[in-house]
Amino acid sequence: MFNDPTIVGSWPTLAARLDGGVLARWASAEPDLALLTTVSDLVALCSDGAEYERSNGVLAALVRLAAVDGRHDEDALLLLLHLLSGLVWTMAGQLRDLSPDIVAVVVGELACQIRRYPWQRRPHAVAANLRADTRRGVLAELRPRSRRHPNRGEVLTADGDVTRLLARQALDETEDVDLLDLLEWAVRSGVDATDIAMLLATEAHRDRQPGSDWMVADEYGVSARTLYRRRTRTLAALRGLAADYLAAVA
């Protein structure tokens, strides 16, 4: 929970208001909240180690209450921001070099994503979806990507050495920790690390250097045909692992 009241307001004040009748009102409208009698019960269901289906049901109910096309409930929005404070702190730490007010930026973007969350068609993996949407929104605001002018947008490394991203010690040196987490998950799940390195190499240089695919192929001692075949195979493997990864980080 946020302990600093300047971020999204006082948690004790909000908790007292919820226990004072708001939670009971919500329970009458949302079946997933019907068995919760105190805000402490609700927090426990959304804590680390809680059963996924139950905790996701609670978060989905709160999103329906907070969304603009739901009940537009301010207390539900504030509660969600408190419940997802761990997400905020983690993302703010990862993107801290992008803004001196990164916590406020992340909180603001998360609030926007909650308000417009498409709860009717995305009822599952609510926390993971909000995390991904918020990160995408923050990066779009602070580090817009342009494929025509890649020097203006986000890059994977400062020096272009994309293969070192696969090394564990690089985790503390790069901003794109989410990408690294996904790639490490993929390697642990059986995707070839060299294939991932080749994929990153082709993506990193494709916009900036004509013929870079052939250069990457030469660097790894394979033909361009083999490079493209392994690239296609790696992309397919990553897409196949995406659902399991999102569920694991939810």
* pLDDT tens for each residue of 7-20: 999 999 999 999 99
- Local structure of residue 143 (DSSP, 8 states): S
Pair (126, 49) in one structural domain: yes
Pair (107, 32) in one structural domain: yes
Contact 141, 94 (CB under 8 A): no
Pair (21, 80) in one structural domain: yes
CA angle 24, 1, 51 (to 5 degrees): 65
The set of residues, in sequence order, having a beta carbon less than 8 Å from that of 250 and lying 6+ positions away, is 52, 56, 125, 126, 127, 128
CB count, 10 Å around CB of 195? 21
| CA 93/CA 116 separation, integer angstroms | 25
Q: Write down the residue that tokens 């929104």 correspond to.
A: 137
Pair (185, 96) in one structural domain: no
Contact 137, 90 (CB under 8 A): no
Contact 107, 7 (CB under 8 A): yes
Pair (27, 127) in one structural domain: yes
SS3 98: helix
The reported pLDDT for the residue numbered 169 is: 33
The answer to whether position 229 is within a domain reads yes
The answer to whether position 148 is within a domain reads no
- Who wins on pLDDT, 191 or 148? 191
Q: How many domains does the chain have?
A: 2
Pair (225, 110) in one structural domain: no
Whole-number percent of the chain with pLDDT over 70: 78
**Which tens digits make up the pLDDT trace of 151-167?**
444 444 444 443 444 44
The reported pLDDT for the residue numbered 84 is: 95
The reported pLDDT for the residue numbered 248 is: 66
The answer to whether position 1 is within a domain reads no
The answer to whether position 215 is within a domain reads yes
> 65 lies in which domain range?
7-142
